[in-house]
Chain A
């Protein structure tokens, strides 16, 4: 898509097609001859891994939808029917359920890769924003999907999340009733969540196409963070180099995937979701799926209903403006000695928030006399740091940091000293 097309139709049919619908040219220029920076490391294989995750979720999801019944009477039973009676239903459902977790593992690695190597900086702001949009759609899709089995966690997760909208001043309560299609989470809610759960993956697929389009307009970033100067020296063709590397990355990723599906299929889930939804009894320990825990911790850290909701959504919304918060001209953390340290602190803070989100709020971590330092206190400190990282560190670091010298080109960054110029 960037640069001249190098496609030459090989035979009569492809010449005929190329003059009418140049789809083979598009594939060739995007995934075959596409110039790929030659210094990409394995962190760059997660784009392909994520495409695989999306495909797996859509394929397994379509089959599950053939056997699932979206009514409060039959939803739970139909999921058990899938597990017990449908041929390989257990496999399809476990792949789908664990696939969601795998999708999030991959997307978090992909996003942290972007943060470490400054992938969001000019001219890739739109590429980044589309990525954040995909992430938001993924969270919505995962939430809708989690409600469908109609277990205890499904029901109470749906109740809590939809009630978040009730915190909005003036219109909150009406909005909540509209979302529910009634006066509490019930049949209409389950039905529309099923409809939306089927729709959203295709929205994701649409935004993924825009994401890849934007990627191929600006060209891929790379670990050195310098742009391609001479495509002959700095790049290799996508096929076979990136295809093979992505394929290898996917194979490794599938080993992890298979471990969960075959050896620990419920390890990432909550046992309470195997109890049918009961609107009169909230489980004693209610937690969302692991990939939403950091945001859950932020929600609980704020002692105010609206404030908590605002900060929770703000924690994601802030990613949209990140390209303009970061003042550093240097992309890669390799050449930013200070940012590199703060990056890892930030990773630890996110993991810490995830830990807090999974613990009871009043669990005491450090005992002091009667009380002590509890999970809420830790959540508050980490939440504050999370926002400071974006609002203070990103703008300030770029101004005060003394960066290391950048390599003259991608070729120079990968070749031993003295070879690049010869």
Chain B
């Protein structure tokens, strides 16, 4: 889980989605909260690299998102694969906002 800054959300949205290995907009990777608005500041992803299952390091790599130390896959602030051997974006698990301060994952 990552509490993203405005800047991180902005860089995630500024990407040309069609050029990504696994095209997804940032909005497709976040869900709406109790108010019905997309809770863009909360990114929830499973911390397992989609290449060979290592745990990527947070706030590392060229895009300041995630960097996998095993084989050098680089993910952006939306957890999308940008560089390296991993084929898919970091998986977003099923989750829901129970209130403004509580979240249920799974």
Which among B55, B72, B84, B85 is the interface contact of A281 at CB below 8 angstroms? B55
Cβ–Cβ contact A361 & B57, under 8 A: no
Q: Contacts A283-B69, A284-B69 hold; do A159 and B85 have CB atoms under 8 A apart?
A: no
| B69 contact set on A, CB distance < 8 A | 282-286
Query: Nearest CB to that of A302 among chain B residues?
Result: B85
- The 8 nearest A-B residue pairs measured at CB: A163-B52, A361-B72, A282-B54, A163-B53, A282-B55, A160-B52, A159-B53, A305-B87
Q: Contacts A305-B85, A305-B86, A361-B72 hold; do A156 and B57 have CB atoms under 8 A apart?
A: no
Cβ–Cβ contact A156 & B71, under 8 A: no
CA distance A300 to B85 in the complex (A): 7
**Binary A-proximity of B35-59 (CB < 8 A = 1, otherwise 0):** 0000000000000000111111100
Q: How far is the CB of A374 from chain B (nearest CB, A)?
A: 10
**Interface of chain A residues 155 through 188 with chain B (CB within 8 A):** 156, 159-160, 163-164, 166, 184
Interface of chain A, main secondary structure: loop
Residue contacts A-B, CB under 8 angstroms, 7 given: A159-B52, A299-B71, A300-B85, A303-B84, A305-B52, A305-B85, A362-B72
Q: Does A123 contact B (CB under 8 A)?
A: no
Q: Does B70 contact A (CB under 8 A)?
A: yes
Cβ–Cβ contact B72 & A156, under 8 A: no
Chain B interface (Cβ within 8 Å of chain A)?
Answer: 51-57, 68-72, 84-87
Q: Does A401 contact B (CB under 8 A)?
A: no
CA distance A280 to B56 in the complex (A): 10
| B68 contact set on A, CB distance < 8 A | 282
CA distance A49 to B55 in the complex (A): 41
CA distance A302 to B51 in the complex (A): 12
Q: Contacts A280-B55, A305-B86, A308-B85 hold; do A160 and B72 have CB atoms under 8 A apart?
A: no
Q: Does A85 contact B (CB under 8 A)?
A: no
CA distance A348 to B76 in the complex (A): 37
Most buried by A among B51, B53, B54, B56: B53
Q: Does A360 contact B (CB under 8 A)?
A: yes
| B84 contact set on A, CB distance < 8 A | 303, 361
Which among A160, A304, A305, A376 is the interface contact of B70 at CB below 8 angstroms? A160
Query: Nearest CB to that of A157 among chain B residues?
Result: B70
Q: Contacts A156-B70, A360-B72 hold; do A304 and B85 have CB atoms under 8 A apart?
A: yes
CA distance A159 to B72 in the complex (A): 16
